[in-house]
Amino acid sequence: MNAARYGAAMGRKEREQASWIEDTQTEPLDVCVLCGREGEMTDHHLVPKSQGRRQGVKLGEIPTVKMCAACQGFLVKTFSNAQLANELSTVEAIQAREEVQKFVKWVQKQPLSRGVRVH
Ligand SMILES: [Zn+2]
């Protein structure tokens, strides 16, 4: 190993330590694509994983969007996997649904911390 290379490796190590310190600070919050609330979001697969598999789409190739648990839960309970995969595979298509608009209007008034019953 030559000296320059060794120096580069050391530099990388220092950066890792610096980023570890940054990670302990508050991270910017994600925003739900449907209701716009900020907080911990989950990755919503625009094509349900089971449907993607059937269509030969690899899991890593399915586009995901940031969505809160309440909105995601609502979609899963309200629509079938086939509907989600075929009719609702874009955010625009999801937002165009009247049921979704009604739910979003309601859920926006709910605190994110509270679990929402979507039954
Ligand atoms: Zn939401």
What is the tens place of the pLDDT at every residue in 45-59? Answer: 999 888 888 888 888
- Domain contains 59: yes
61 Cα to the center of ligand 1, angstroms: 23
CA of 66 to the centre of ligand 1 (A): 9
Indicate whether 7 pLDDT > 60. no
Q: With respect to residue 7, please indicate whether it lies within any of the assigned structural domains.
A: no
22 within some domain: no
What's the gap in Å between 30 CA and the centre of ligand 1? Answer: 11
* Ramachandran assignment for 36, one of left (phi > 0), alpha (psi -120 to 50 degrees), beta (any other): left
Residue 87 lies in a domain: yes
Does residue 50 belong to any structural domain of this protein? yes
What's the CA gap between 63 and 47, in Å, rounded?
Answer: 8
| pTM for the predicted model, two decimal places | 0.70
Specify the pLDDT at position 58: 87
Q: Which domain holds residue 72?
A: 28-107
Structure tokens at 10: 């050391």
Residue 97 maps to a domain? yes
CB < 8 Å & 24+ apart, contacts of 104-110: 104/34, 104/35, 104/71, 107/35, 107/37, 107/68, 107/70, 107/71, 107/74, 108/35, 108/36, 108/37, 110/70
Average of per-residue pLDDT across 94-99 = 98
Which has the minimum average pLDDT: 34-48, 51-65, 103-117?
A: 103-117
Query: How many domains does the chain divide into?
Result: 1
